[in-house]
Amino acid sequence: MCRNIHVLHNFEPAATADEVHAAALQYVRKISGSTHPSKANEEAFELAVHEIARISRHLLEDLVSSAPPKNREIEAENAKARSQKRFAAA
């Protein structure tokens, strides 16, 4: 999985349309092997991003969790701490 795609489920406030679109874009870039499609592939690339974002929004709306919603700021701090620990050990 692409490291730039972040968990979007069970956050308060919920994931924004921009966050879902960014995740879809990263996914399509990863599986297509292209960050900028050629003119010949541009329409298919954009359609895939749009469709994956749409399906992802539906998934996020339908998922149920018994865990309390996560806080974005705390999760970002935890990720930063994990990153510092991982790269300090290298």
- pTM for this structure? 0.80
Kind plus residue range of the DSSP H or E element containing 27: helix 17-32
pLDDT for res 8 = 92
Please check whether residue 16 is in contact with residue 31, taking contact to mean a CB–CB distance below 8 angstroms. no
pLDDT digits (tens, 9 = 90+) for 13-72: 899 999 999 999 999 999 999 999 999 999 999 999 999 999 999 999 999 999 999 988
Average pLDDT over residues 65-84: 90
Nearest-10 crossing angle of helices 42-62, 17-32: 130
Please check whether residue 23 is in contact with residue 55, taking contact to mean a CB–CB distance below 8 angstroms. no
- Spatial distance between the Cα atoms of 22 and 28, rounded to a whole number of angstroms: 10
Per-residue confidence at 2, pLDDT binned at 50, 70, 90? low
